[in-house]
Every structure is written in C-alpha cells, then in structure tokens.
Amino acid sequence: MRGGPFEAAPVTGGVPPGARFFVCSRSIDQRWMGIVFDPAGGLAPECGVSSPVAARGEYRGPCRSGWVASAAVRLVAG
C-alpha cells in the first residue's frame, strides 16, 4: 500500500492477504485504487465509507487507507 497513486509514493503499509476493502477512488490512468479497510482486514461500517459522500476529500476516519495497484485487486460485488 502506498501513500499516493504512483510507484515513487512512499510505502505506508500492507494489506493482509485475503483482506476485503472499500474501493473509494481510482487514479486517472486506472492503474491505482484508493482503498479503505479495517485494520483486521474487513469491511467495517465504522470506517464510514459504505455510503456515498457529498464531496471528494482525503480520508480521515479510524480505518487504514492508501493506494494499491489495480492489477493486484480482484473486484467482488456485494
């Protein structure tokens, strides 16, 4: 997981194997996804991103957030 949607962005941590997370944004070139997830690797409602918001902005909730390469993500609906 990186601090921005590009290779040179600092690594800010990792995503646990098999973790589920909210995809909240995508980079313009579609190569990166902005994600939010509970530190336990789940989709906790406490993260505060399970509903649309009125305006874009930096995530400031209690969960972890960052950018991951789109190629490493398998999208699952529901």
Mean pLDDT on 1-19 = 92
- For 2, 11, 17, 21, 70, the CA distances from 61, given in Å and listed in that order, are 17, 19, 22, 14, 23
Question: In terms of C-beta density within 10 A (0-12 exposed, 13-18 middle, 19 or more buried), how is residue 21 classed?
Answer: buried
| Interatomic CA distance for residues 20 and 12, integer angstroms | 18
46 φ, ψ (degrees, to nearest 5): -65, -20
- Domain range for 65: 1-78
User: Encoding tokens for residue 5?
Assistant: 């949607």
The residue-averaged pLDDT of 51-59 equals 85
- Total domains in the fold of the chain: 1
Summarize pLDDT for 31-54 with one digit per residue, the tens.
999 999 998 878 899 999 988 888
